[in-house]
Amino acid sequence: MALVKKKIRPFLSTGALYLAVRMTSINSKSKDKTKYQSVKKRFVNAIVGIPTDILPRFIVLPSDPNEINIIFLDDIIRFSLGKIFKGYKIQETVSVKLTRDAELYIDNEFTGSLPDKIKKNLGKE
């Protein structure tokens, strides 16, 4: 999902693995769609879920009987991003795993500072 200001606010599941993607829109001025004449330098960010709940994280590739070749599921998706985001040039990617502390309880009040509440809950105040 592309992250556009004020349009999409993704909910990232705790313990899930994602690819954070930074890309630029490709502006083609030529009729030949295989050659890009100019690249507009407006960055677009996206989050792509890595389905480790249904696929293994490490994929064993076919190889000779005397060797074992393994690739990350992250890399398979990373190498396919051009097909997922057509019209964009991928600039950077990074694997991200979000971990939330399930035991951190913050009062659902409208008063007070969130950092102060977190400090107090962690016992650092």
Fold observed for domain 2-121: polyphosphate kinase like (3.30.1840)
Which two tokens mark 103?
A: 């035991």
pLDDT at 92: 94
- Read off the pLDDT of residues 23-79 as tens digits, 9 standing for 90 and up: 988 874 444 445 554 444 678 888 999 998 899 999 999 988 899 999 999 999 999
What is this structure's pTM? 0.61
Q: Which residues pair with 94 in a beta bridge?
A: 20
CB 17 within 8 A of CB 52: yes
Q: What is the C-alpha to C-alpha distance for residues 113 and 111, in angstroms, rounded to an integer?
A: 7
- Read off the pLDDT of residues 65-120 as tens digits, 9 standing for 90 and up: 899 999 999 999 999 999 999 989 999 999 988 776 656 555 565 566 767 767 77
